[in-house]
Structures are given as structure tokens and as C-alpha cells.
Amino acid sequence: MKIDFVTLFPAMFPSVMDASMMARAKDKGLLDWGCVNPRDFTEDKHHKVDDRPFGGGPGMLMMVEPLDKAIKSVRKKGSKVIFLSPQGKTFDDKAAMRLSREKHLILVCGHYEGVDERTADLFDEELSVGDFVLTGGELPAMLVADAVARLVPGVIKKEDATASESFATGLLDFPQYTRPRVWRGREVPEILFSGDHAKIAAWRKTAAAKATKRKRPDLIERA
Ligand code: 4GS
């Protein structure tokens, strides 16, 4: 998969996209990413990418033309162009699965007060990462890239990938423990040392249901 970020702040990307699992995905040839800066597609002396809103009001808006040119410079047949914005549909596990099957994502990061309404013509889809307002779409774009990339086959170990599917089943993960067996007097549940895999699986199922009911009752209501 290739992910192109359309951003005025490309310097924000390498520390996230070239570390840990994303770096491994790139090394394995499963993920490639790049940045394209709308500022490089301006023709005026000051490389202007934003302007004041017609009709007045606070803040600046991103202009449509530099964004259009930046997107066109990386867009191919079959590319999916997504704009990150609080006005989009909320990004979730389902959307991550769907996008993980795409060959080329173009994630467009807004900045300033917003974008010219006519930029809507440039996007296939608009996604939000939650009901709050950030200073830019760069963190949302990287969040989407991370969640999508880990679902690309081969990026993470199979066992981990299937564990994540527990989200799709509507339950949180079951509680897990590693060494030490006793920590500050808190013991690991005895059953996990029983060697009885059927019993352990049953315990985990119940524990996952209990955890979901306690921490995320909304997930149960939705199911
Ligand atoms: C989000 C969000 C966001 C909105 C970008 C104001 C700068 C900012 N993008 N999910 N202009 N929440 N974008 O807050 O995606």
C-alpha cells in the first residue's frame, strides 16, 4: 500500500511514520509513504496557500487551487482521496478494515480555520477521528495511516491481527498478564496456569464480557 499525505507540514511525519511498526512495514515493502506540499504548487511570490474568508470572520481558509494541484500530482487511477475533518464520518475499526484493502490512499490534512467549501469536489470521502478540534489534520491522517497499515497482511503478526478483530465482534480484549506472577501482592488468576485450554478460553470469554460491560457499556448496547 502507498499512502500520500497532502500537508503544509511534512516535517511532522517522519518521526511517526519511520518508527516502530510503520518502519518495519516499509522495510518489508508492505507500505510506502510520501508527502506532497500544496505550497510547492503555488505560483505567486509568497507561495500563498491560505486567504481570508469572503463575507468576513475570524481565521484563514486553505485555498482550493494549491490543494487541487497537490492532489493531482500524486493521484492515479484507483487512488482514494480522503479529507480529514471534524465534519466527516467518524473513523472506526470498520473503516480501517475497508481502507486496508486499498492500493493507494491520499490523506489530505486541513489547517487553519478550515478549507474553501469547493475543495469537497476533490475528495472521495471525508473522515473525522473524533468530536474535537485540532490545529491541523496531520495527527488524524497519521492516526488513520497507523490503524489502516496494521491491518495490511504481513505488517503485524497474525495472532495480533486476529486479536484486534475482537473489536469487530463488539467486545474488548480479555485481561492479560505476564511475569511476575505476583506483583505487590496482586496475583495472576490461578486458571491461567491450569494448562486447561478450554477452561482458559471460557474464562477469557467471560472476562472480556465483564470488562466490556464495566468499561464500554455502549459497545454492548450497539451489538
Ligand atoms: C480533525 C478531526 C480536526 C479542524 C484541522 C480545524 C484544522 C482540524 N480532523 N478529525 N482546522 N477531529 N481538524 O480537528 O479529523
pLDDT of residue 164: 59
pLDDT of residue 112: 87
Helices (H), 36-178: 64-74, 93-99, 138-149, 158-168
Only one residue has cell 494549491, namely 66
Q: Which residues pair with 104 in a beta bridge?
A: 2
Query: Quick check: CB of 130 below 6 Å from ligand 1?
Result: yes
Domain boundaries defined on the chain = 2-149, 164-222
How many helices and strands in the chain, by DSSP H and E?
Answer: 8, 10
pLDDT of residue 179: 98
Q: Using CA atoms, how far apart are residues 203 and 128, in angstroms rounded to an integer? A: 36
Q: Using CA atoms, how far apart are residues 125 and 128, in angstroms rounded to an integer? A: 10
Q: Which CATH number fits domain 164-222: 1.10.3720.10, 1.20.1260.10, 3.30.930.10, 1.10.1270.20?
A: 1.10.1270.20
Say if pTM beats, i.e. exceeds, 0.85.
yes
Q: How far is CA 195 from CA 178, 189, 192, in A?
A: 15, 13, 7
What's the 115 CA to ligand 1 centre distance in angstroms?
Answer: 11
pLDDT of residue 166: 62
CATH 3.40.1280.10 at 2-149, yes or no: yes
Q: Using CA atoms, how far apart are residues 42 and 7, in angstroms rounded to an integer? A: 14
pLDDT of residue 129: 98
pLDDT of residue 223: 74
What's the 134 CA to ligand 1 centre distance in angstroms?
Answer: 5
Q: Given ligand 1 and candidates 128, 143, 144, which is best to mutate, with the most ligand atoms within 8 Å of its CB?
A: 128
What's the 102 CA to ligand 1 centre distance in angstroms?
Answer: 23
Query: Quick check: CB of 136 below 6 Å from ligand 1?
Result: yes
Cell numbers found for residue 115: 478549507
HSE (side-chain half, CA atoms, 13 Å) at 25: 27
Ligand 1 atom having least distance to the Cα of 114: 11
pLDDT of residue 124: 98
Query: Quick check: CB of 86 below 6 Å from ligand 1?
Result: yes
Cell numbers found for residue 221: 448496547
Ligand 1 atom having least distance to the Cα of 134: 14
Query: Quick check: CB of 140 below 6 Å from ligand 1?
Result: yes
Residues of the chain falling short of pLDDT 50: none
